[in-house]
Chains A and B, each alone.
Chain A
Amino acid sequence: MNKNGISRRAFLKGGAAVACAAATATIPLTVKALDQEPLATLHDLRKCVGCGECVTACRDMNQRFFPEPVRPFPKMYPKRVKAEDWSEKRDVTDRLTPYNWLTIQQADVKTAEGDLTVYIPRRCMHCVNPPCVKLCPWGAAHQEKNGISVINPDLCLGGAKCQAVCPWDIPQRQTGVGLYLDILPAFAGNGVMYKCNRCYENVAKGENPACIDMCPENVQSIGPRKEMVARAYEIAKEIGGYVYGDKENGGTNTLYVSPVPFEMLNDAIRKGKGLPDLAAKKDVMADGNAMTAALFLAPVAGVVSALSKIALTARRAGLGKEEKKTANPGEVNHES
């Protein structure tokens, strides 16, 4: 058989198989969480007075996780790689830092009823399909069975990809700590990323996160996501309000209910580094996941394409013989 004898038609056939695979790329695949309904929190923003008790509670609860960097920081190359050091600014609470995993944003807005100030506690949203976890190149972040996403400080190298892929840029870096110090501190990594871990150890024991328990106004509640989503829309319906976090980035396990539209709040809050916005967010994982059917079908399409090419070549060879026979019957007779 001619090793390189792939006809144009056969190749087109092969192309058709790829096209088939590509066509199925748009089939949405929804795989449900295998173990349990994730836990979600619901913030009723009407109740928050911005007292900051939750921020203090979070800092107290998580002291033991806070980084104690080595000094001096190892020199990093190339020059553009800058150390990020918050260890001398541990008291900062007006933004997210490695030592402050929860911050309160303030929105002063004008409504038909008059001026209104809305306080918004901000931290990791604990996305249902968290890009920070799924796209970490080392598997340093993981998602608990109850949906909580956690960055493992013993594995994180501080490359900050989690921050880049997070729709709200939540994780914050501290240089001079973590595994990178033991590998190639000059050339790879830059510390450890920190963010709210939803007090996962307490939650595993059946306790509430500290920020929920210490809030004097009972702003937050926690429960199975379905129930929390239903409750959020119920409140929104009651007050003619709005929900944030249900659809953003394909869905998160943090829901906010506000009496004013989130576009309005988003315009009014201070945004920037360590200060997440309240904009609409498209699902970061959706484009890749939509291509999965094609990825799983590609090997099958490859085999089918090869078989069709071989069958075609064999058929051509057969036809060639036939043609020879009919074009030169005498010779055939003679041979036989």
Chain B
Amino acid sequence: MNPKTQTMVQRTVFFMLLLSGFAQMPIFKRYYIADIPGFGWLADFAVTHVMHYGFAIVFSFSVFDRLTRSVLEQRQGGEKPWLGDGAYAVLVGGILVSGVLLVARNFIGYRFSPGFITLLDIVHLGLVMVFLVFLSGRVIARRIRSWKR
């Protein structure tokens, strides 16, 4: 796969992860999005739950693949590693860790206290929102820079 296609695949996976993640809240039916022909599955929690897991598998694979390569490349004199930006690393790390803990919660048993589960839910969603704001900020800043040039 050429780098362009790879980036496109990663972006698609990230978008689907976001979509299936937001679908865990009962909002797509309320706001008619699941009424759009072909989007009915967005209101089916069984489908979006499994999809979120599936895309999370591909996402965490690609994060660790890319991170490992960029760290090793940097050691050999390359540029700053991917996610080398502290804020990025904390956000992506936080989303992955809270996600993994939520997955662990889904097994039979009573691992975490109710308060901690609520905290995990809020942290997972909150970090995704912050990440989106952060990402939009970067894209806008990049655009402004290219206009100025």
Contacts and interface: CB of A to CB of B under 8 A. Distances in A.
A87 interface: no
A142 B121 contact: no
B141 interface: no
A145 B46 CA distance: 26
Interface stretch (A102-110, A132-140, A198-206, A256-264): A132-140
B62 A302 contact: yes
Given A165-B45, A298-B61, A6 B118 contact: no
Nearest to B62: A302
A34 B111 contact: yes
B58 A310 contact: no
A298 B57 contact: yes
B144 interface: no
A61 interface: no
B45 A160 contact: no
A295 B53 contact: yes
Interface stretch (A25-33, A65-73, A215-223): A25-33
Interface string B115-149: 00111111001000000000000000000000000
B124 to A, nearest CB: 10
Given A3-B78, A284-B46, A289 B64 contact: no
B60 A298 contact: yes
Contacts of B8: none
B3 interface: yes
Main secondary structure of the interface of B (DSSP, over half): helix
A54 interface: no
Contacts of A288: 49-50, 53, 103, 106
Contacts of A30: 108
Contact of B64 (A4, A35, A164, A298): A298
Contact of B105 (A134, A294, A300): A134
A306 B64 contact: yes
A138 B118 contact: yes
Contacts of B32: 78, 80
A303 B62 CA distance: 9
Given A160-B26, A291-B50, A11 B1 contact: yes
Interface in B3-44: 3, 6, 24-27, 30-32
B61 A21 contact: yes
A138 B27 CA distance: 13
B68 A306 contact: yes
A44 B34 CA distance: 43
Q: For chain B, which range describes its interface: under 10, 10 to 19, 20 to 34, or 35 or more residues?
A: 35 or more
Of the candidates A33, A35, A288, A307, the one having the most CB atoms from chain B within 10 angstroms of its own CB is A288
B64 A299 contact: yes
Contacts of A139: 114, 117-121
A307 B68 contact: yes
A80 B43 CA distance: 15
B66 interface: yes
Contact of A159 (B1, B26, B46): B26
B30 to A, nearest CB: 6
B109 A137 contact: no
A137 B64 CA distance: 27
Nearest to A299: B64
B65 A303 contact: yes
A270 interface: no
Nearest to A134: B106
Interface in A279-336: 284-285, 287-289, 291-292, 294-296, 298-303, 305-307, 309-310
Would you list the 9 A-B pairs with minimal beta carbon distance, nearest first? A302-B64, A139-B118, A306-B68, A142-B114, A139-B117, A159-B26, A302-B65, A298-B61, A4-B3
12 contacts: A6-B3, A18-B61, A34-B110, A78-B31, A81-B30, A129-B108, A135-B49, A139-B120, A164-B26, A284-B46, A287-B46, A288-B103
Interface of A: 1, 3-4, 6, 8, 11, 14, 17-18, 21-22, 25, 29-35, 78, 80-81, 128-129, 134-135, 137-140, 142-145, 152, 155, 159-161, 164-165, 188, 250, 284-285, 287-289, 291-292, 294-296, 298-303, 305-307, 309-310
